[in-house]
Amino acid sequence: MLTYTAYGLAIALNLMVLFIGARFLFVPQAAAAGYGVPARTDGDRAYLTIKGVRDGTYGVLGLALLAFAGPTAEAWFMLVVALAPLGDTLIVLRNGGTKAVAFGIHFATAVAVLVSAVLLFAVS
């Protein structure tokens, strides 16, 4: 049962970050608002695209590691990639976003990613 939970959470998190990346590529203004720091309509497009590519790459890499390298590699990946939502928490707080979004979305995501890493280490 623990193996199914570990793999299921890892797959779900990777798919969610892949979805977020796609959202930043296809509807960047809405994605930025959901991120917690709305983008300017006159010049943030490149940065929003960068975020989309970054998140999409993390999602694909996570799925590939899980499929081809196994749970230990995925656990290390999750441990390292938790830095991204922790950084996002600080970015939202430093740029006028609400504490609810910073902690309720980004920090909570970091915690979920760390839980995923622990579960993956436990089954490897």
Domain span at residue 69 reads 2-123
Q: How many domains does the chain have?
A: 1
pLDDT tens-digit readout, 6-59: 999 999 999 999 999 999 999 999 999 999 999 988 877 898 999 999 999 999
pTM: 0.93
Q: What is the mean pLDDT of residues 58-68?
A: 98
Q: Could you give the C-alpha distances from 72 to 117, 121, 124, in angstroms and in order?
A: 9, 6, 6
d(CA 26, CA 20): 10
